[in-house]
A = this chain, B = another copy of it.
């Protein structure tokens, strides 16, 4: 597929303009654009500006509130629940992470559950907020139901990502940012666009048969938890997805399981919801709450060096340290621009036309 390349600042400006046009306060527009751009910079193209029109459609359906009154509704010295007032997750999540950071600053750790929010972009953005302050960061969110628990055919969990971030010394931070399903939905969408089969173990049909048909999800099929089947530990992937759902939503008062409101605007939320919006969960722990930061970073470097030297099966594919490819992409794309595929550019320009924002034009 043809790609067009845009400089980060140009795309950032465009994205901010869109958020301002739907009524977001300037500060929110800047922050929301920053979260989306971070995803594009880090090479996670499915979670960046490609989703911008999706957020706007939810706003049009009045499912996203452009001027939310985000607030703490319950707290102790180190825990809190935040109500996002149906705001953009891109704005609600950094608010909540800041609360966790402030608590950690004072008491060593801070933990914040969030309800009444929306899609928060990449989990890594929020965990990195802690890592930049020499803290360990946790970020997770539940999401539209697509994944069936082991032994079942019902879509009861989202791809529910979890992220753990650790600062290092001379090396980039270790950022483990992963969906708890065998494959993220974005990978399926790529196969759908190309009409290509997917590996066995990603998807099952509506009656629970394994399939390589990337379109099976559209005919009632479901994604499989990490592990793919019971023999290979799919009950563990299910357990991790359940953990994210409970921490993000049962703990906060958001919707869980099949009641999580769909990200796509053309599917309405179910009736009789048990909670408010979607849920997130964040945590921050000061490294120096456990040992001096310098000592920790020296050992992180030693850990990274030892794992980087792991003997590869094939000389052309060395080990990958979690977070390293994303940082490499970020450095490259800051310099060389962000590639967008043509359908995304077309979609963004339709949005721009509708809202009265200057159209994107290829610069490079």
Partner-B contacts on A (CB < 8 A): 74-81, 107-109, 111, 113, 136, 148-154, 156, 164, 166, 174, 176, 178-180, 182-183, 199, 201-202, 207-208, 226-228, 231-233, 235-240, 242-243, 245-247, 250-253, 256-258, 274-275, 285-287, 289-291, 295-296, 299-300, 302-303, 306-307, 310-314, 317-320, 322
Contact = CB atoms under 8 A, between A and B. Distances in A.
Most B CB atoms within 10 A — which of A75, A178, A275?
A: A178
Most B CB atoms within 10 A — which of A78, A111, A245?
A: A78
A247 B283 CA distance: 14
A312 B275 CA distance: 26
Contacts of A239: 164, 176, 178, 322
A296 B107 contact: no
A257 B311 contact: no
A243 B237 CA distance: 16
B108 A291 contact: no
Contacts of A154: 310-311
Contacts of A80: 289-290
B152 A311 contact: yes
Given A78-B289, A307-B156, A319 B251 contact: no
B108 A151 contact: no
A246 B77 contact: no
A237 B320 CA distance: 13
A305 B252 CA distance: 19
Contacts of A166: 246, 250
Given A183-B233, A237-B226, A242-B176, A109 B152 contact: no
A153 to B, nearest CB: 5
A286 B318 CA distance: 43
B236 A226 contact: yes
B290 A251 contact: yes
B319 A150 contact: yes
Nearest to A275: B299
A247 B256 CA distance: 28
Contact of A313 (B108, B152, B232, B310): B152
A202 to B, nearest CB: 8
A78 B233 contact: no
A244 to B, nearest CB: 10
Contacts of A247: 136, 164
B150 A320 contact: yes
B290 A74 contact: yes
B235 A322 contact: yes
Contacts of A257: 303, 306-307
A345 to B, nearest CB: 30
